[in-house]
Structure 1
Amino acid sequence: MAESTSAPSQTAFVQQLNFWARDASNESAALLGAVALGMFEHLPDEGSSPVSLEVLAQRIGGSVRGTRSVIEPLVGLGFVRLEEGRGYSLPVASAFLRRPGFVARMREARGWWLVSAKLPEAVRTGSPVAWLGESRDLLGWYQQEFLAPRAPAPDALAADYDERAARNFLRTQALVTSGEVGLLEALVPGPRPLVELAKVTGSQPEALRVLLGVLASMGIVRQEGESFGFSELAGRSLDASSLPYFQRSFPATMDYWEAFGHLDEAVTQRRFRLDLRDPETARRIYQRNASRITGIFASHVKLGRKAAELVVRMRPLKDARVLDVGTGSGVWGAAFGLSEPSVHVTYLDSEHVLEQVKPNIAKLKLEGRARYWAGDCLSVDYGESQYDVILLPQVIPALPPEALPGFFAKLARALRPQGLLVISGYLLTDRRDGPLDALYFSLRRYVSNEGDVLSMPDFRRLLEPVGLTSSRGFEMPIQQVVIASRGDVPWPDVAPVR
């Protein structure tokens, strides 16, 4: 069982780990979903007249928003061509996507999507798992996909599609399972014999050997005789302090698993297996998210302070009144509260989320300048000329697109002269063909029946009609911020995103 022969840098390895934990399943879902929807049968060949998004949606029997959420990652990855202002077509190099054998392979792979969530059971029992009245050899599928010899692929692009679509989600499940059974934690102290690892994880030895083999193919594990340990890069990346942080993404990934398994159903029937417009579902997911972010609160406060420093370069914050809309963990409002001792911050969110916020603010000794406002951000009355800065921390993708014009109108009315609207989160390119992590996040928002990720042209179409005529995007650590004003505040000497 050989360790991966590639030698990525430490930074590249950590990025790859995070991709497998967070975005790999999103990518697989888009690629497999496109095949399930028959999308490639309805795309014209490159050189022919492209098909518009609306026509493509009609041809596959899907909604425009759902069709766009699937095809945008395909454009970003280069499998589909987008001609600005005209539409989509299938490049010559992507002709393999119509081959019956390749389509059959993708459909077979997709048939393992929901079953793969039972990998922890398979590793613990060493037996096939029951699925829809059938016995499915999940461990055998993993052996075939990762441990059996494979013939060289004659078509590099087809091999890349296959790798991303058919195996990336299996890699995600291997990581999630390794966390669930305690394998990653068990490997932190150093190499251990297989039988010992099987005992501490409650697994069958030969089933665990399969899982370890998959991790070895991913460059995470290496074998020394009958003992297994982290690879050198994994050992430096997944120590006792960093492993808990890394594993916090696993529950969120699994929240969306069933929804991604039925992506085609969401696109064609608007049936959402994870519907965050349902109040009880939203309460459960958002409360968990706020709790998870609380666990990494300190590091995110540092990121939020970067945005506060950018705002200070535009206008002073002395005695400023700041509104943090959809505050989540309270991290962005706290960052602005820490930036200037006279700033007063109002934290707006649902009551159950605010219960997560209050201890975070108390620890920073900011409660004396804090107000907690329980309410729905779309229905509350923000008043007129109440705030100097309004923060929207990753709120827009959670809101129905049809509600945004009225929402921005109320926020603009609530801003004082020289007021700033600060929107944090992902920002798409003007063509909506990247960055890939933003496109995957947008797909996740779609399958949970939420909002959208926007580009700067999208934002300007919403902001300018309500009087926020000046807006720019700025690069921040991890994500971006969009800042908007009435044009009465000078821009800082900082290059915008675009």
Structure 2
Amino acid sequence: MSEHQPTPDTVLRLINGYWSTGIIGAAAGHRLFTHLNAGAHTAPALAERAGISPRGAQSLLDGLVSIGLVHLEEGTYRNSAEADAYLVEGRPADLSAMARLKLTHMGSLTGLADVVAAGGPVSDPAVEVADNPHWGQVVPAIAAQSVPAAAVAADVLGLDDAGALSILDVGGGSGIYSATWLERNPRARATQLDWEPINAIAARLLAERGLSDRFTCIDGDFHHTDFGRHAYDIAVYSHIAHQEGPEDNIAVFTRLKDALKPGGALIVCDYVVDDDRSGPAFPLLFACEMLLKSKQGGTWRRTDYDAWLTKAGFSDITFHTAPPATLVIAR
């Protein structure tokens, strides 16, 4: 067979992509990455440590080797650098909870063809409501994905040595931005605006870090709650713009501009695509997630954010990579 002739390998691997979701979710559920990190480097040792069958341990290891999250060298298995950083329990950016969560979401993809035809959800997703019990599982699970972005933002803005900053985190969820920045700047104070059940989760998580004395919450819907005027040095709008339409994003950005002190900075973090929609890969994939779960959201382009923020009154707009997300900083 010619080296240039296509084979079905890649297509079959992608068709069966749900295997990867299942393998990672099951491995995280049995703490395999944590056990590997702790020294269980063979299938029998891993089976004993995790309390699973030897056959199951070997099958998961085979799958993890296949997708590149585990390496096999001279009969021993070890985490890849990515698995070590993002799937070992206790790491700051541990995504194990998200891996487990995604196992429960796989069924929703069966309706994607109908959603594509309709241009949006064919039934009310009923997710974005305050009293949805899934927040208790989702909010802590997705927190880790913002750890790298929060660190990049702190570095870009020099928040560590910025003194007594006042921070507003709109739709802050787990409070991960506040937690990261309050730990790095002992004089900063943060306020989170979110629904009451979500704020309760954030308050608990920040209390566990000993930061309650500098963290307050405002219960409410950010679409309607007053942000104040000239009250904050920093405002954060993270992973919200993708679920909102253009006009709603402009409206929120305008209100956030008014809430900032002169010279204050708005930090928008989201999955941003290139202007020609040729990449990056993860934000392009995420577009279908928004098609499934939102009526008007999407993965917006850099030029969209630039236009919206300019219309909202910002004049200094810069973009900073925090893979797989992008930080947009506007003053």
Counterpart of 2:191 in structure 1 is 346
Q: Is the 8 A contact 1:153 1:159 kept in 2?
A: no
Distance across 2 between alignment mates of 1:418 and 1:455: 25
Distance across 2 between alignment mates of 1:215 and 1:309: 34
Query: CA distance change for structure 1 residues 170 and 351 in 2, over 3 Å: closer, same or farther?
Result: same
Distance across 1 between alignment mates of 2:303 and 2:318: 10
1:366-411 superposed Cα distances (whole Å, 9 cap, x missing partner): 3233221111111212232222221112221233444222222222
User: Are residues 1:159 and 2:8 paired?
Assistant: yes
Distance across 2 between alignment mates of 1:189 and 1:291: 28
User: Are residues 1:191 and 2:42 paired?
Assistant: yes
Q: Is the 8 A contact 2:21 2:103 kept in 1?
A: no
Distance across 1 between alignment mates of 2:196 and 2:106: 28
User: Are residues 1:266 and 2:119 paired?
Assistant: no
Q: Pick the structure with more helix per residue.
A: 1
Consecutive aligned runs of 4 or more in structure 1 exceeding 4 Å deviation: 151-154, 178-188, 207-224, 232-239
The 10-residue stretch of structure 1 (373-382 or 397-406) with the greater mean CA deviation from structure 2:
397-406
Counterpart of 1:145 in structure 2 is none
Gaps of 5+ in 2: none
Counterpart of 2:227 in structure 1 is 382
User: Where does 1:16-95 land on structure 2 (aligned, <5 Å)?
Assistant: none
1:457 is matched with which residue: 294, 299, 303?
A: 303
User: Are residues 1:307 and 2:153 paired?
Assistant: yes
How far the C-alpha of 1:358 sits from its partner, in A, is 1.3
Distance across 2 between alignment mates of 1:284 and 1:471: 37
Counterpart of 1:448 in structure 2 is 293
Q: Is the 8 A contact 1:427 1:480 kept in 2?
A: yes
Instruction: Give the letter for the 2:251 counterpart.
Output: G
Greater radius of gyration (CA):
1
Query: CA distance change for structure 1 residues 183 and 153 in 2, over 3 Å: closer, same or farther?
Result: farther
Distance across 2 between alignment mates of 1:223 and 1:312: 42
Task: Provide the secondary structure at the position in 2 that maps to 1:267.
Answer: helix
How far the C-alpha of 1:285 sits from its partner, in A, is 4.0
User: Where does 1:156-235 land on structure 2 (aligned, <5 Å)?
Assistant: 156=6, 159=8, 162-180=11-29, 189-192=40-43, 200-201=51-52, 214-215=63-64, 217-218=66-67, 220=70, 231-232=77-78
Distance across 1 between alignment mates of 2:178 and 2:59: 47
Counterpart of 1:250 in structure 2 is 99
2:125 is matched with which residue: 248, 272, 275?
A: 275
Distance across 2 between alignment mates of 1:175 and 1:357: 27
Task: Provide the secondary structure at the position in 2 that maps to 1:248.
Answer: helix
Q: Is the 8 A contact 1:259 1:273 kept in 2?
A: no
Distance across 2 between alignment mates of 1:430 and 1:236: 29
How far the C-alpha of 1:464 sits from its partner, in A, is 1.4
Greater length-normalized contact order (CA 8 Å, ≥ 6 residues apart) = 1
Q: Is the 8 A contact 2:41 2:78 kept in 1?
A: no
User: Are residues 1:358 and 2:203 paired?
Assistant: yes
Query: CA distance change for structure 1 residues 310 and 230 in 2, over 3 Å: closer, same or farther?
Result: same
Distance across 2 between alignment mates of 1:248 and 1:404: 29
How far the C-alpha of 1:342 sits from its partner, in A, is 3.6
Query: CA distance change for structure 1 residues 365 and 435 in 2, over 3 Å: closer, same or farther?
Result: same
User: Are residues 1:482 and 2:328 paired?
Assistant: yes
Query: CA distance change for structure 1 residues 263 and 401 in 2, over 3 Å: closer, same or farther?
Result: farther
Gaps of 5+ in 1: 1-150, 486-498
Q: Is the 8 A contact 1:324 1:346 kept in 2?
A: yes
Q: Is the 8 A contact 2:246 2:308 kept in 1?
A: no
Distance across 1 between alignment mates of 2:313 and 2:63: 55
Normalising to structure 1: TM-score of the pair? 0.54
1:16-61 superposed Cα distances (whole Å, 9 cap, x missing partner): xxxxxxxxxxxxxxxxxxxxxxxxxxxxxxxxxxxxxxxxxxxxxx
Figure out how many residues of one structure are paired with residues of the other and give that number: 320
